[in-house]
């Protein structure tokens, strides 16, 4: 047997041994995601406030969304967008 086949067989055997643990983790993940979806859709205050904080943090840390938050929506190709007050974005 070649070295590749030997290593592949070892890897498949390891996956076979870990199968029950992998399935348990996947099911746990699926259950918690579904629980979160149900909590948000039923209006749970904790879930909604967590969602709002998470989205606000992502929005604040995304460099692409910063100009949008300042009222800059788009610019023609090849030009730099301008803020509503006329300043060019991004500042030099």
SS (H, E, C) 10-69: HHHHHHHHHHHHHHHHHHHHHHHHHHHHHHHHCCCHHHHHHHHHHHHHHHHHCCCHHHHH
Q: pLDDT by residue (tens digit) across 46-63?
A: 999 999 999 888 888 877
Asked, for residue 79, whether it belongs to a domain, the answer is: no
Asked, for residue 85, whether it belongs to a domain, the answer is: no
- Its domain, for residue 35, covers 3-61
Q: pLDDT by residue (tens digit) across 1-41?
A: 588 788 898 989 999 999 999 999 999 999 999 999 999 99
| pTM metric for this prediction | 0.53
Asked, for residue 82, whether it belongs to a domain, the answer is: no
- How many domains would you assign to the chain? 1
Asked, for residue 86, whether it belongs to a domain, the answer is: no
């Amino acid at each position: 047997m070649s070295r590749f086949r030997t290593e592949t067989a070892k890897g498949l055997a390891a996956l076979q041994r870990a199968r029950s643990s992998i399935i348990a983790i996947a099911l746990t993940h699926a259950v918690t995601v579904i629980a979160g979806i149900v909590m948000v859709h039923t209006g749970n205050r904790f879930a909604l406030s967590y969602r709002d904080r998470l989205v606000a943090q992502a929005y604040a840390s995304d460099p692409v969304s910063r100009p949008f938050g300042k009222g800059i929506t788009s610019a023609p190709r090849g030009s730099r967008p301008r803020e509503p007050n006329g300043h060019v974005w991004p500042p030099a």
